[in-house]
Structure 1
Amino acid sequence: MAKPFLLGVLGGMGPLAAVDFQHQLLQAVNSQSDQQQIPMVVWNVPQIPDRQQALAGTGPSPLPQLIDGIEKLNRVGASHIVMACNTAHHWFEALQAASQAPLLHIADATAEAVAALSPTSVGLIATQGTLDAGWFQQRFARHGIETLLPTATEIRDYFVPGCYAVKRGEVAAGGELLARQAQALLDRGAERLVLACTEVPLALRAADWQPPRKAIDPAEAMAALCASLWQQQQTLF
């Protein structure tokens, strides 16, 4: 017999992003009642070490705390687990090994959402660690989509200070910086933007900045995938 559907969300990176992801999940399910929404359990503990600093070699690894979160989700019987942080997927393999449930990769969900729009190029906004890992670029390339990346100067002047502004609660101010990053990619020819850092969509909304064509939010794409899995299981019973 199939395990009851219970989505585990490994959050805390940052805590606002995990709350936003839960909102995305509620929106992704076309429900007529509370009872039709996705059952979930969220481990939203923000004391996980900074992922950007860890990958830059200036801070401790978050892996022990990430594994602890996975173990907590194992104990409550999660049937599927997702992470509400793009950069944390750097430790995906180790976390999948620790998980008793399938761990869904945010780049897989995003690539399908991007491919459905059929762009020839996308601008990718993400942490340096995510850019260096290449998960998104590799998946986009399989669909024949070119990826345009931020320059080192843009990362330093726009992305990093914008991201950390959001983390300290200055969301609109961070959005103004991140909007400059987004516009720079559009100016270089990106047809669509992929907002592959959970602070970015939140900040751009707070700054009231919108691209000329709809951007792809990986959290929204992951929420849509989770909703699809939940609805598929509902049809089996």
Structure 2
Amino acid sequence: MKNFFTILGGMGTLATESFIHVLNERTPIHADQDYLNYLLVNHATVPDRTDYILGNSEDDPSLAIKEDIQQYSRFEPDFFVLTCNTAHHFFDELQEETDIPILHMPRLAVKTVNKTFAKSTGKTRVGLLATEGTIQTKVYENELTKFGNLEVVLPDAALQQDVTNLIYRDVKENHFFNEELFYQILRKMSEEFSCDVMVLGCTELSLVQEFTQNTKYPVVDAQSELANETIRRALDNRS
């Protein structure tokens, strides 16, 4: 197979399935042959990234992802797609494992924030909704602060617990897309924390966004931006 990419998924599986759905739905097609060529690695047993980052587990998830990169680099894909936001904490280590480029999801999302929501004067308040692991490692904060006009706004402890519950308790554990809690979180970030836009920095949140089709509150969905860039690169490589 030529002109293909490899998706490093399974973190978690439902979120990976959501990414594939968005990817296929947005690909411009008129026949079966117009869809994109890709390999999907649904490595569901990769240890939890947040547990490791927070020191609650000694199982280093980067080892499993590095093994995947080593294995699938042999097939020489055009690029890799890493569908877990928190795993981007290990991005530099992962990229060192291969000469094949890995798309950087947080960087793509922040680029869209700056392009679409940055104010002409003053700072744009950007609310970050993500796992505790992603927040602690500053994967998004580091990208956002590269732009002097973007101000990072983090949830307080109580609201972060709501975000964690939505990600782990509702989506990961019970396959429940808690629309009420999702809108409650967005409302609080928008109204009580005065955010101009919220970044959905977890693919479980992207899954809920896809389910609810939220248009009421301004968000940049990192998974959505990753899908757009994946399609753009894949089509460029095909031409």
Answer yes or no: same fold by TM over 0.5: yes
2:101 alignment counterpart: 102
> Residue type matched to 1:109 in 2?
L
Q: 1: CA distance between counterparts of 2:73 and 2:65?
A: 12
Structure 2 residue matching 1:98: 3-state secondary structure: coil
Q: Take 1:141 and 1:211, find their aligned partners in 2: how far apart are those partners? A: 26
Identity of aligned residues (%): 26
Q: Unaligned 5+ residue runs, structure 1?
A: none
1:84-118 Cα deviation digits (max 9, x unpaired): 11001111111111124111110121122222312
- Provide the residue aligned with 1:6 in structure 2: 4
CA gap of 1:223–1:170, structure 2 versus 1, over 3 A, is closer
Specify which of 122, 136, 140 is matched with residue 136 of structure 1.
140
Shift of 1:219: 0.8
Q: Distance in 2 between matches of 1:34 and 1:115?
A: 36
Q: Tell me what 1:203 maps to.
A: 208
Q: Aligned pair 1:225/2:224, yes or no? A: no
Equivalent in the alignment of 1:58: 56
Give 3-state SS (helix, strand or coil) of 2:145's partner. helix
Contact in 1 for aligned 2:129/2:198 (Cα 8 Å): yes
1:170 and 2:175 equivalent? yes
Runs (4+) off by over 4 Å: none
**Amino acid of the structure 2 residue aligned with 1:25:** L
**Structure 1 residues 49-198: aligned runs within 5 Å:** 49-59=47-57, 60-119=59-118, 120-143=124-147, 144-156=149-161, 158-164=162-168, 165-173=170-178, 175-187=179-191, 188-198=193-203
Amino acid of the structure 2 residue aligned with 1:57: G
Q: Take 1:101 and 1:209, find their aligned partners in 2: how far apart are those partners? A: 34
Which ranges in structure 2 are unaligned for 5 or more consecutive residues? Answer: 119-123
90-99 vs 110-119, greater mean Cα deviation = 110-119
Deviation per CA, 1:8-61, whole angstroms, max 9, x where unpaired? 111110001111111121233222222122211011021111111111101121
1:65 deviates by 1.2
- Aligned partners of 1:179 and 1:204 also within 8 Å: no
Which structure shows the higher strand fraction?
Answer: 2
Distance 2:175 2:62 in 1: 28
User: Aligned partners of 2:198, 2:183: CA distance in 1, in Å?
Assistant: 11
> Could you say if the C-alpha distance between residues 29 and 211 of structure 1 is closer, same or farther in structure 2, counting changes exceeding 3 Å?
closer
Output the TM-score relative to the length of structure 1: 0.88
Residue 179 of structure 1: how far off its partner (Å): 3.1
Q: How does 1:36-51 map to 2 (within 5 A)?
A: 36-51=34-49
Distance in 2 between the 1:204 and 1:176 partners? 12
State how far apart, in whole Å, the 2-side matches of 1:171 and 1:204 are. Answer: 13
Distance 2:157 2:215 in 1: 22
Distance 1:116 1:32, change over 3 A: farther
Q: Which AA in structure 1 matches 2:35? A: Q
TM-score norm. by structure 2 comes to 0.87
**Are the aligned partners of 2:186 and 2:217 in contact in 1 as well (CA < 8 Å)?**
no
Q: Retained in 2: the 8 A contact 1:7–1:41?
A: yes
What is the CA-CA distance between 1:152 and the residue it aligns to? 1.8
Aligned AA for 1:28?
R
Answer whether contact 1:24 1:223 (CA < 8 A) is retained: yes
Q: Deviations over 1:71-93 (max 9, x none)?
A: 23213322200111100111111
Q: Does 53-62 or 118-127 show the bigger shift?
A: 118-127
In 1, the alpha carbon distance for the partners of 2:63 and 2:143 equals: 28
